[in-house]
Amino acid sequence: MTKPKHGPCSLISVPRDSLVQVGDQMLKINAVMQVFGKKELVTQVESITGQHIDHVAKLTFGGLTKVVDALGGVELCYDQDVDDEKSELHWKSGCHVVDGRTALAFSRMRYSDPRSDFGRSDRQRQVIGAIAQKATAKSTLLNIGKLKKVGEAALGSLTVDDKSTPWTMLQMLLAFRDASGSNGITGSLYWTDPGYYVDGVGSSVLLDNQKNLELFKQLHDGDHAPGQWAQPPNNNSYPHTRVALDSPRYRRIVDAWALKHHIGRCAPQSAGNGGGTRDTSCVQPCLLSPRSSC
């Protein structure tokens, strides 16, 4: 999150599989804290953004549930029906006021999302924004009992750095609210390859370092226009994944690929050596690991 002296606040997601390097070791950023500690994680984010991090806050999954319940629920929107057993999200397309348990499932679901972790990041930002919006609403601030419950839930679940004060935490909450509003900025880091393979690491997200440095300079200076963006898959997005040709995941991948190239989708056929098929009515992409060829 950024809060410039002048200009819009922003809430930018870091893909959990972003590839980083610590010393001679390559790993995904979601493993940095566990392997090297919180200080190294901060260092990595500062390197990606080119900006100094002033404060750090960590909210547990259980804490999110408690805060949402203390607020009396939050309104979330998603335009697909979902019946996902892994996250336990059961969702009817549209907008709904949900409790803490559903908000948590909404934040965690990715296997039923065609955009996988990128879609999940969008929904996580939506949950944060919904919490911030409702926590700063008059209906909350003027209700002493409710405000106390929300404060107790947040303080019992939130871990912050030693330099944080109640004032900085309030500023943080207001910045989350503003970033999620119509005049704020939300999105994800720029990347060049979301399926970049590294031995010993696996499929990871290769970030676009130069674009991200430029992005955060604009955000820091307050020069970036308000709005939300979602980087579309590039031409190399899908060839780094091998999946069964008759699986639902394959069909989602092909549908997205075909939509991008304005073509129809073929009925799945024999995989052969891993390649797709081609005929006069439609095209299937060749779905391969990085070391394979069509």
Question: Contact 209/227 with Cβ under 8 angstroms?
Answer: no
d(CA 98, CA 93): 13
Q: Determine the pLDDT at residue 65.
A: 95
* 154 contacts: CB under 8 Å, gap ≥ 6: 63, 67, 70
d(CA 102, CA 175): 25
Question: Residues 132-144, buried b or exposed e (16+ Cβ, 10 A)?
Answer: bbbbeeeebeeee
Per-residue pLDDT tens digits for 33-46: 999 999 999 999 99
d(CA 102, CA 93): 14
d(CA 294, CA 278): 12
Q: Determine the pLDDT at residue 50.
A: 97
Cα atoms found within 13 Å of the Cα of residue 154, Cβ hemisphere only = 19
Q: Determine the pLDDT at residue 275.
A: 38
Q: What is the pTM of this model?
A: 0.74
CATH code reported for the domain at 10-228: 3.40.630.190
Q: State mean pLDDT over 48-53.
A: 96
* 168 contacts: CB under 8 Å, gap ≥ 6: 55
Does residue 26 register a pLDDT over 50? Answer: yes
Per-residue pLDDT tens digits for 180-220: 999 999 999 999 999 999 999 999 999 999 999 999 999 99
Domain map (residue ranges) of the chain? 10-228, 238-294
Question: Contact 184/8 with Cβ under 8 angstroms?
Answer: yes
Q: State mean pLDDT over 248-265.
A: 46
Question: Contact 113/120 with Cβ under 8 angstroms?
Answer: yes
d(CA 238, CA 249): 12
Does residue 271 register a pLDDT over 70? Answer: no
Q: Determine the pLDDT at residue 131.
A: 95
Question: What are the residues facing 82 on neighbouring strands?
Answer: 91
